[in-house]
A and B are shown apart, each in its own frame.
Chain A
Amino acid sequence: MSAQKPERKSTKPAEESSETEGIIRAFHALAVVVLGLALGFFVYSSTANDTSRFPFKLGLDLAGGSHLVYQADVSDIRPEEVPELMQVLKEVIERRVNIFGVSEPIVQVETSSFVTDETEHRLVVELPGVTDVEEAVAEIGRTPLLEFKLVDQSVLAGQQAQEQLEASASGTGAQIGNVRVNDQAVATGTDAAYIDTGLTGRYLNRAELQFGQGSGGLSNEPIVAIEFNDEGADLFEEITRENVGESLAIFLDGELMSAPTINEPIAGGSAIIQGNFSPDEARDLVQNLNFGALPVPIELESTQTIGASLGANILERGITAGAIGLSLVLVFMLLWYRLPGVVASLALLIYTLAMLALFKLIPVTLTAAGLAGFILSVGMAVDANVLVFERMKEEYRNGATSREAARNGFTRAWPAIRDGNFTSIISAVILFWFGTSLVKGFALVFGMGVLVSMISALLVTRTLLLSLPVTQQKEGTVTAKLTDSGLQR
């Protein structure tokens, strides 16, 4: 009792103040119930209504679809340019994927973190609903890789000489080996004969289909005229200026198209690609180039497809499991903890609704693992309640009134709740860092679950608990018995 309260005042003000207290308490309790109903309404209406703005967002393994991971080869790129190029890559692929008409495709850059030896740069493409991954891969594969390389004449000459020798020796059974030109061994492989200039499709502005005016020969041959952006134009001018008389080879998707001789430095950034194209080929190439050329070569590293019916089935089972799990926990709480158990059950229901609402609002992409995490968190959500109730029971059996017991229960149980949940959150954070998108989904749900359950215990359980009628164990009334929990000692 506070020392400031005057001892023997008339009882009326004291009663009134406890009445006001009571009204405030009832108001709080009512507010909580109304909140619960509001959440329930929101979740229900936005789920039942197909055109709602807040549907559940389903991950690939529930909705069905494809998940592709491409590895980008950044070995030829300066490190500081890599992030920018990855963004360009993302945009180029995104444009391609969008013509596919997939609803909500996801194209993301993923960089693997510090624990591996080398940093890997990847592009993750998720196509919900696309189960025939062949087409998707083929379409993405159509993105052209354009490279300009200088010809190393001496190496090329050496290679050609070797080929001629081998050709003339082929009928005779003699073997050609150890060919040396100018006392140097001939380097093998197409790469050796060509020197990278750094001028690639990333500097491309646009491409246009033209028909050649025919320099010495075929006229009306379809050619592809390309235009570089400013940076590219500068680079192009530099290369042509420094290498007059040399050949500049143009590679498309790793294949040599042509190697025209540089007659003079070319400013303005226009160039022509000719390679005996048919009109259709040239048109395709122009279209593909205009969608964007790859800034770096990419390779398909992993694929995952889930059929839609399988996904729907997993979702259905997950929901069933969740509903049953929730019911089991509710029943247990009611049987063991009786009156406080009713409070805990309400808190649990509100917790579930709050989580579902958050899933919709944030939104959180639900996966099979995420559903599992949610069900796990439902089982864990009552933990805080259990800790408080057990404490409360002790105090109650030691003679405290139910309200005092409740208050003390909360205060005394809080350190355990805090420490226990903290470690769970640590787990969730590390899982989030560790994971692929699948694991991230689980970690997010798990972590959210812990936080929301703490809040619901503090907010809902405490409020409702404190608004329960005040009894004491020794009174032995029905209410008193109902406030006690567990088995009689």
Chain B
Amino acid sequence: MFVAKYTKELLVAAALIFVIAGGVVGVLGLPLGIDFTGGALTEVTYSERPEKSSVESALPREQLGEFSLRQTESDTGRSGYILRTRDLTEDERIGIDEILTTAGTDGSVDRYTSIGPVIGQELMRKAMWAIGGVALIIVLYVAFAFRGVSWPVSSWKYGLITIVALIHDVLVPTAVFSVLGVLLGAEADVLFVMALLAILGYSVNDTIVVFDRVRENLVQWRQEKKEKKDTGEETITYILTKPFDEIVGTSVQQTLARSINTSLTTLLAITALYIFGGDVTQNFALMLMAGVIAGTYSSLCIANPLLIYLGRNAGETST
């Protein structure tokens, strides 16, 4: 009943979340990694890390153009720098490697990635298509799966609500990532897009779980009323034996344990990944955590109030 009672408040809260998250992304921006912009990333570690200024002065500034040097602690206990530059030719790379490794004690290049600008742009385009494609198919599928209960809310509206929930589920982790970008210098890379796509596919699970129960209850608590029209055709209209709000509210209550538990188990696994996994996948794990939490919240407190709102004025009820 919680959902039914506080429909208005929850909708307002949802709108607020959208505004805040959208604002964060708009203001802080989403830092793009070299996977999208092209460029080169060299990670060099030392047993004793030299001063940042001495490394910077050793690099051929003119030839290199803009570059950024960031401190890093490697998993293996050594510390070093991550150098981000435009993409380098082989000879340039060899030269830079030389400069970097001799700048400190026992230096070695642990990781090097160079992406040409064409590949970068292509990746960006593919990412947009992929995200759009997944969202579209999901919405179509939901509309299709719920075609049997297109009253009092038509099945494509279920799809619409799913879109709203999806946007929320993608926006909130992205906002989290924007914050990470400012705080930790995190950059969006292929893993970021992967996390978004995984969240898309997963978070709609939750929404479907509740909608499924609504569907079941709707069938249970409606009565058919057959009318013969003047033309001799038979039409079937439905009357609900319980107000729509209550049906949805009860459905939510019944499925509360399911929703929370499925998200909880996934969260447990991902938290383990975040804490104990390597730093390559750390941001990925954090985004997934945000996504799972956002997904649960959106299924319970956004999708259902919306459903109630849309169904409120449709259809008769009789007690």
Show the binding face of A for B, using Cβ within 8 Å: 61, 69, 71, 112-113, 115-116, 120, 133-134, 137-138, 300-307, 309-310, 313-314, 317-318, 320-322, 324-326, 328-329, 332-333, 336, 368-369, 371-373, 375-376, 378-380, 382-383, 386-387, 390, 393-394, 412, 415-416, 419-428, 430-431, 433-436, 438-439, 442, 446, 486
- Kindly identify, within residues 220 to 257 of chain B, every residue whose CB is under 8 Å from any CB belonging to chain A: 254-255, 257
Q: Total interface residues on B, using CB and 8 Å?
A: 72
Residues of A within 8 A of B285 (CB): 372
Interface centre among A306, A309, A320, A434 (most CB of B within 10 A): A434
A435 to B254, CA, bound (A): 39
- Does B47 lie at the interface of the complex (its beta carbon under 8 Å from any beta carbon of A)? no
- A residues in contact with B204, CB < 8 Å: 420, 423
Task: Please classify the interface of chain B as helix (H, G, I), strand (E, B), loop, or mixed, using the class held by over half of its residues.
Answer: helix
CB < 8 Å: which of B94, B258, B269 contacts A375? B269
Tell me the number of A-to-B contacts counted with CB atoms below 8 Å: 220
Whether A325 and B284, one on each chain, are in contact in the complex, defined by CB atoms closer than 8 angstroms, is no
Q: 25 A-B contacts, Cβ less than 8 Å apart?
A: A115-B126, A120-B118, A134-B90, A302-B87, A303-B113, A305-B113, A310-B75, A313-B75, A325-B269, A369-B284, A371-B281, A372-B285, A375-B277, A380-B202, A380-B269, A382-B265, A387-B262, A412-B216, A416-B208, A416-B209, A434-B127, A434-B129, A436-B123, A442-B194, A442-B198
CB-CB under 8 A from B213, the residues of chain A are 416
Max chain B Cβ within 10 angstroms of own Cβ: one of A303, A333, A394: A303
- Which chain A residues lie closer than 8 Å to B125 at the CB level? 115-116
A426–B262 Cα distance when bound, in Å, is 19
A325 and B141: CB pair below 8 A? no
Q: Is B114 an interface residue (CB 8 A)?
A: yes
A371 to B265, alpha carbons, bound, how many Å?
17
A305 and B288 alpha carbons, distance in the complex (Å): 27
Q: B202 contacts A419, CB within 8 Å? A: no
Q: How far is the CA of A424 from the CA of B258 in the complex (A)?
A: 18
B90 x A387 contact (CB < 8 A)? no
- Select one of B114, B133, B277 contacting A317, CB under 8 A: B277
CB pair A369 B281 closer than 8 Å: yes
| Contact of A314 with B280 in the complex, beta carbons under 8 Å | yes
Any A CB within 8 A of the CB of B111: yes
- Chain A positions within 8 Å of B194 at CB level: 369, 431, 435, 439, 442
Closest A residue to B267 by beta carbon equals: A379
Q: B180 on the interface (CB 8 Å rule)?
A: no
State whether A137 touches B90 (Cβ < 8 A).
yes
